[in-house]
Structure 1
Amino acid sequence: MKKYFILLFILSTPVITIAQQSKISRGNKVYTNFEFVNAQEIYQKVADKGYESADLYKRLGDSYYLNASYEKAQLWYGKLIEKYADNVDAETYFRYAIALKGTKDYKRSDEIMSRFAELNESDKRAQIFKNHPDYLEDIDAYKDMYTVTETTINSGYSDFGAAFYEDKLIFSSAKDTGSFVKRVHAWNGQPFLDLYEVPVDLVYSQEATLKNTKKFDRRINTPFHESTPVFTKDGNTVYFTRNNYNDGNYRDDADGINKLKIYKAVKNNKDKWSAIEELPFSSDAYTIAHPALSPDEKRLYFSSDMPGTFGDADLWYVTIKDDGTYSAPVNLGDQINTEGRESYPFICDENDLYFASNGHLGLGGLDVFQTTVGDNGEVSAIINLGAPVNTSKDDFAFIIDHVSNKGFLSSNRAQEAVNDDIYMLERIKTPPPPCVIDLTGLVTDKDTGEKLSGVTVTLYDINKNVFGTEVTDATATFSFDPSCDREMLVRAEKEGYIPEEIMITTPATSASLNELLQLEKINKPLIPGTDITTILDLNPIYFDFDRYTIRQDAAVELAKVQSVMEEYPTLRIDVRSHTDSRGNDIYNERLSQKRNDATIQWLVDNGIDRSRLTGRGYGESQPVNNCTNNVACSEAAHQDNRRSEFIILGDR
């Protein structure tokens, strides 16, 4: 940013950043009988016994990641990638990178994100990581809505910050009109700023020259800086920015820095500006500047680095009460304000808010943005006005008359040094309607379909920035309005359930989206007749063709059943083995019995009392679909029938 603009809004306080950390309270319950089973604990016990598989490591990594146990998540993701890299999908690399950041291992996180980007180059998270965010397409949608022309009132010094007043244009300029003692600021070798006036029609017609401009009012202009005025509609009150200087008193803060303040002046009965006073919420300790009035003149907006600011400078407002006093300043919130700089607000008669920012994605340093702010602080979509309003340089101090569709902005686009110029603009196109996404959803129990209340649902962007949080009521529904054309993450969590999250891609045009999130209980009831395969979501117990020897991948699944039976030493299980319909019926029955015997023997060999186990091979006699003899079926349909079941019989 150029030096002169820094001078006008120099901020000495440190940048304030706000970090939000989500803390989830979890309670551990201990049960003395076998009423519930914790799948995560079972997976952990299986891994602790030395069993390995890509599926086991991924499930462990995901379970810890979804519970924000990032140190444990990165342990298992690390093992997964080290031993089974060919089985790892892009999403797991992304989660691993987040888990690494959770333990401040940023170097390794970047390495994993690079791998994620290689695997999924079209993913916007990868694009952001590569420092190529896809925001230019959004900005391009508003291209050429305006024509922009340099005015003839620019002096060669800094000229900026225009305001409408009666039939005049009031602006700030560092030009010196000929006083015998030229006061020059040491920062940039230019004179201090004063307010000037010029007939606005001459500016529009490009007939205005420096000779047509004159200083605005000697009572308002001082030896120091004045800039960015705003006038009430009756023309009898002006708010403007000035150094901390009034009635000959020049005041600094505790560090010896002179801040900017907003002053107010009113016309007396002789039509002269008088009763100049600083606003009561000004302070020697911080800057407030660049006032703007709402159409009803009941709100005064401004920019400040006062306590409570998110970054270098935020947009704030005060309510102007009927008795002329002011409310406490209100921050416009983090939808508008960033850790960067938001400044130069302007409110048109249609209640659109225009402001300059280097915190929102733009084309250059400061860009001009448009939004609306409701009575209760609600903010509409924030729109970058695009070229030619915005350039690769600093563009700010935008004003417009929506009756004539003409206005002005300030920019240093034509200057390589410190000078700003005033540009005339005209809106020639109606901006496209803002994109609005209505995201709604329902949260249910995965097993019962019951609607779940008390679920915390949070919407994140891909950098884990929180866009909103809701807690479901009896309807089990949630609602958000995310940005368009973005990848977002919806996360649902409730005590006693495994958190669930889904990625969504919002359309580039307005749309309504509806999502279903199904939460699975951490502790599931062990009800007689229930299949442990369903409770633990076991993978199929595979055998080699025409064999009944327990394979290593089958041993991993059986170890989960073993752990359940160890957890509840009186639990009895009926092992049921099935084949598909292909082959001779009698042969399939014998094969399934041998596989059943091998399955039970494996559990016995690993410490389970045989008296707790019953079982039988059923061959092809109990299919779960229509794939019986001589029926053509897919391999997947046959696989559904080629299964093992571990039915809970109850206590022995």
Structure 2
Amino acid sequence: MKNYILLCITIVSISLNSYSQNKTASADKKYDDYAYINAIKTYERIAEKGYKSADMFKKLGNSFYFNSEFDKAAKWYGELFAMNSEIEPEYYYRYAQSLKSSGDLVKANQILDLFNQKTKNDSRAKLYETNKNYLAEIKANSGRYKIEDAGINSKYSDYGTAFYLNKIVFTSARDTGNFGQRKHKWTGEHFTNLYQSDIDEYFNPNAVKKIKSKINSKFNESTPVFTKDGKTVYFTRNNYIDGKKGKDGNKTTLIKIYKASFENDKWANIIELPFNSDTYSTAHPALSADEKTLYFASDMPGTIGQSDIYKVSINSNGGYGTPENLGPTINTEGKETFPYVTDDNEIYFASDGHPGLGGLDVFVGEIDQNGVSNIQNLGADINSPNDDFAYVIDTKSRRGFFSSNKEGGLGSDDIYKFLETKLLRCVQELSGIVSDTQTGIILPETKVSLYDSQHILISTTISDQKGFYSFAVECGKIYHVRAEKKEYATKEVSVTINTQSGKTNLPITLDKTSCQVVIGDDLGKCFGIKMIYFDLDKSNIRAEAAFDLEKILDVLNQHPTLKLDIRSHTDSRQTVFYNKQLSERRAQATMKWLIKNGISPNRLTAKGYGETQLINGCSDGIICTEEQHQMNRRSEFIIRAL
């Protein structure tokens, strides 16, 4: 790119919750033919008796954590950590947050230190690695464009395309038509003016016409940007207005941003913007989608490098705010210039300070409340070892234009048109079905919330009638998804999004806090009890069996009219007689334990069924897996009366 596109003498351009959970029905609430069993209350009563279970403490801690009862959450998470068992890193974070909310900052910091040690790759503990292999990134970002000559180039410099209604407007030095046409002494080319061309639906330009207006002067004009209604234009020009040329202290004519309005079929009322100066340059204006912010390049005081990108607010009264430097994330000690902002809050710009292929490369970043982030090189389709710049794109059609002095062009700078066939920005949809853990029934109208890795709420949605939810998310990032529904325990799961565009599936199953039961149901299913465990070939109650029986005991105490039939089953291995006797002893041992702990014998019956009620085809002579045999080894607590 010629020097007159950079910051220099008489030049045109710059190189310059509380998360409240609905109360569940009380454990003794009854309906005509069913009752609700509050599992969390049962766990709490069992824990108060001294029983210890990591799974139980997790459930208790979570139930209070998600309900913002942090004192109680800290209590049960403390019990969990006191067991010295293997604990997922997420519980360190929750425990620390609970301690903080409870006022114990010293211990909270100690737990956070442990959290940081265990989660080196968690974004809350460590930022993603920087200083990537930029050549590999450029290679990965390449192969996404179909590029052609725009069809409007001359043997002179042509660059800096802008959209204007159903036209494009660009910069060209092609006007050599009269003796008085001035040449730039550095480049040997004539000064630039603005030209326009109609374009079709595929962005193919038609005949080129010079804009006949005072917007074009005897010095350089370039890089305009138009409001959507076509009535206002901001553009770059040498420091020249009303026939007068401005100079700095070194008698150098710099460049400024000007504004004009379209009246009576012509551009008029040309004024310079108030933050211009004779002592520094401003150039290459770009508008935000809402047209309330103007972006531009400048070497004004406060610039980090040779030229930086700035923004300034456009006030409702037509005035302007104070220009703000976009900061060191985008600006370097080199040149950042030619900004272009899309309705997707992306900013495209040219830079020789960010790692590239040579000269100016085109980059894109994301505009957020903190400035600009996630800056990436557009790849080797757009960029070359020479200067590539002035990139503009229509986000709907993914068609646009850019300028370059790469080899093979007609002039010193040429305009190329492109079709982006693959998005650079990785687009992911996080979605899934919310269902009941036990029954598999879908759960519509579930509140589903998306949190970032710092547990900051991003978005909330409600699952539809098919239990489906979805969020738009960023590739490669860690998110936390929380599901909340009345009569179900709140659940939060973490997910790492895939690194390529597509969909990440995250089904969520919820456990009922109130288990609805009727006569004939297995009470054990309320608590996930599949088997009351005994030592091999014995009928003595083991510690983990006593823990599960405490749940049954608590329900019987809360519902004094409830009666149970205790059933014990075996698989088909061993003889039929042996299995029948073993299951009978175990059923009786289970009943005796409950009677010993205060349950009236007239509320209980017990029977061993051996291998007579297999729930699959794993009978004698049939080869089955251990998992298939395990399905047949089960304990049941069948409700006989409520």
Q: Could you tell me the TM-score, scaled by structure 1's length?
A: 0.59
1:58 counterpart residue number? 58
Contact 1:303 1:344 in 2 (8 A): no
**CA displacement at 1:28 relative to structure 2:** 5.1
Amino acid at match of 2:59: R
For residue 490 of structure 1, what is the aligned residue in structure 2? Answer: 481
Provide the rounded CA distance (Å) in 1 between the counterparts of 2:497 and 2:591. 50
The answer (yes or no) to whether the contact 1:318–1:326 under 8 Å persists in 2 is yes
Residue 274 of structure 1, CA deviation = 6.2
Could you tell me whether the CA contact under 8 Å between 2:390 and 2:402 is conserved in 1?
Answer: no
Q: 2:563 is paired with a residue of what secondary structure? A: strand
* Aligned counterpart, 2:364: 370
Task: Name the residue aligned to 1:81.
Answer: 81
- In the superposition, relative to structure 1, how do residues 130 and 166 fare at CA in structure 2: closer, same or farther (>3 Å)? closer
Look up the SS of the partner of 1:521 in the other structure. coil
Q: 1:167-182 counterparts in 2 under 5 A?
A: none
Alignment-mate amino acid for residue 370 of structure 1 = V
* C-alpha deviation, 1:475, in angstroms: 3.8
**1:617 paired residue among 608, 620, 625:** 608
Aligned residue for 1:497, secondary structure, equals: coil
Shift of 1:543: 0.8
Does the CA-based 8 Å contact 2:234-2:285 persist in structure 1? Answer: no
Counterpart among 335, 346, 364 of residue 339 in structure 2: 346
Quick check: 1:470 aligned with 2:461? yes
Q: Could you tell me how far 1:51 is from its partner in structure 2?
A: 1.2
Where do residues 561-572 of structure 1 align in structure 2 (5 Å cutoff)? 561-572=552-563
Counterpart in the other structure of 1:359: none
Q: Secondary structure at the match of 1:602?
A: helix
1:461–1:598: structure 2 CA closer, same or farther, 3 Å change rule?
same
Alignment match of 1:598 (pick from 583, 586, 589):
589
Whether 1:405 aligns to 2:403 is yes
Does the 8 A contact of 1:301 with 1:345 survive in 2? no
Which residue of the partner structure matches residue 423 of structure 2?
433
Contact 1:574 1:646 (8 Å CA) reproduced: yes
Q: Residue 352 and residue 51 in structure 1: after superposition, are their counterparts in 2 closer, same or farther (change >3 A)?
A: closer
Which letter does structure 1 place at the counterpart of 2:82?
A: E
CA contact (8 A) 2:489 2:513 kept: yes
1:130-279 map, 5 Å: 130-133=126-129, 136=132, 141-142=137-138, 202=187, 238=234
- Per-residue CA deviation, residues 547-593 of structure 1 (Å, 9 max, x unaligned), is 21111111110000000111111110111112233333323322222
1:458 aligns with 2:449: yes
CA distance in 2, matches of 1:199, 1:144: 40
* Separation (CA, whole Å) in 2 of partners of 1:203 and 1:52: 86
Counterpart position of 2:44: 44
Provide the residue aligned with 1:259 in structure 2. none
Asked if the contact 2:522/2:639 (under 8 Å) is kept, the reply is yes
Closer/same/farther in 2, CA of residues 49 and 291 from structure 1, 3 Å limit: farther
Q: Could you tell me which amino acid in structure 1 is paired with residue 293 of structure 2?
A: Y
- What do the CA deviations read for 1:420-443 (whole angstroms, capped 9, x no partner)? xxxx99999998622111233222
The farther-off stretch of 603-612 and 137-146 is 137-146
Q: How far, CA to CA, are the matches of 1:111 and 1:494 in structure 2?
A: 34
SS of corresponding position for 2:473: coil
- Give the whole-Å Cα distance in 2 for the aligned partners of 1:427 and 1:68: 57
Unaligned runs of 5+ in 2: 1-16, 143-159, 163-169, 174-182, 191-221, 237-256, 276-281, 297-308, 356-360, 381-388, 393-399, 406-412
Q: C-alpha distance in 2, partners of 1:594/1:277?
A: 94
Contact 1:263 1:277 in 2 (8 A): yes
In structure 2, the partner of 1:26 is 22
Code of the aligned partner of 1:502 = V
Cα distance in 1, alignment partners of residues 185 and 103 from structure 2: 57
What is residue 502 of structure 1 aligned with on the other side?
493
Q: SS of the residue aligned with 2:474?
A: coil
Query: For structure 1, which segment, 554-563 or 133-142, has the greater mean C-alpha deviation from structure 2 after superposition?
Result: 133-142
SS of equivalent residue, structure 2 residue 629 = helix
State the AA in 2 paired with 1:346: P
Is 2:366–2:375's contact at 8 Å kept on the other side of the alignment?
A: no
Amino acid at match of 2:20: I
Following the alignment from structure 1 to structure 2, what is the Cα–Cα distance between the partners of residues 82 and 236? Answer: 69
Q: Deviations over 1:86-119 (max 9, x none)?
A: x434454455455455556566456545555665
Deviation of 1:537 (Å): 0.9
Candidates 617, 620, 634, aligned match of 1:629:
620
User: 2:547 is matched with which residue?
Assistant: 556
Q: Is the 8 A contact 2:161 2:171 kept in 1?
A: no
Task: Name which structure has the greater RCO, CA cutoff 8 Å, separation 6+.
Answer: 2
User: CA separation in 1, counterparts of 2:185 and 2:561?
Assistant: 92
CA distance in 2, matches of 1:584, 1:641: 15
Distance verdict in 2 for CA 1:291–1:569, change over 3 Å:
farther
Q: Judge conservation of contact 2:572–2:620 (CA < 8 Å) in 1.
A: yes
Deviation for aligned residue 1:457: 1.4
- Asked if 1 retains the 8 angstrom alpha-carbon contact of 2:341 and 2:348, the reply is no
Is the alpha carbon distance of 1:200 and 1:69 closer, same or farther for their aligned partners in structure 2, counting shifts above 3 Å? farther
State the superposition RMSD in angstroms.
5.6
| 1:8 equivalent in structure 2 | none
Q: Is the 8 A contact 2:24 2:513 kept in 1?
A: no
Give the total of aligned pairs.
481
**2:503 alignment partner in structure 1:** 512
* C-alpha separation in 2, matches of 1:508 and 1:472: 25
Tell me how far apart the structure 2 counterparts of residues 483 and 139 of structure 1 sit (CA, whole Å): 23
Deviations, residues 142-179 of structure 1 (Å, cap 9, x unaligned): 47989xxxxxxxxxxxxxxx9999669xxxxxxxxxxx
Aligned with 1:129 (options 117, 125, 129): 125
For residues 130 and 453 of structure 1, what CA distance do their matches in structure 2 show? 37
- One-letter amino acid of the counterpart of residue 456, structure 2: N
| Residue 612 of structure 1: how far off its partner (Å) | 0.8
* The 10-residue stretch of structure 1 (70-79 or 520-529) with the greater mean CA deviation from structure 2: 70-79
Q: Which has the higher mean CA deviation after the structures are superposed, 134-143 or 68-77? A: 134-143
CA contact (8 A) 1:265 1:275 kept: yes
Question: Are the structure 2 counterparts of residues 351 and 614 from structure 1 closer, same or farther at C-alpha, using a change threshold of 3 Å?
Answer: closer
Q: Which amino acid aligns with 2:125?
A: F
- CA offset digits 1:292-330 (Å, max 9, x no partner): 4449x98242479xxxxxxxx99797699xxxx77999x
Provide the secondary structure at the position in 2 that maps to 1:385: strand
Q: Whole-Å Cα distance in 2 between the matches of residues 518 and 464 of structure 1?
A: 21
Report the secondary structure of 1:601's partner residue.
helix
Deviation of 1:534 (Å):
0.8
SS at match of 1:24: coil
Using the TM superposition, name which of 26-35 and 448-457 deviates more.
26-35
CA contact (8 A) 1:167 1:199 kept: no
Amino acid at match of 1:628: S
Cα distance in 2 for partners of 1:624, 1:351 equals 56
Shift of 1:540: 2.5
Instruction: State the identity %.
Output: 28
Distance 1:607 1:268, change over 3 A: closer
**Alpha-carbon distance between aligned partners in 2 of 1:594 and 1:528, rounded to the nearest angstrom:** 25
1:405-463 CA-partner distances (Å, limit 9, x unpaired): 249xxxxxxxxxxxxxxxx9999999862211123322233444444332111222222
Q: Deviations over 1:596-650 (max 9, x none)?
A: 2221111111111111111112222222223333444433333332221111111
**Does the aligned pair in 1 maintain the 2:449–2:461 contact within 8 Å?**
yes
Go from structure 1 to structure 2 and tell me whether the alpha carbon gap of 1:430 and 1:608 turns closer, same or farther (over 3 Å shift).
Answer: same
Q: For 2:362 and 2:43, how far apart are their aligned partners in 1?
A: 54
Does the aligned pair in 1 maintain the 2:24–2:486 contact within 8 Å?
no
Normalized against structure 2, the TM-score is what? 0.60
In the alignment, the residues of structure 2 paired with residue 354 and residue 204 of structure 1 have an alpha-carbon distance, to the nearest angstrom, of 31
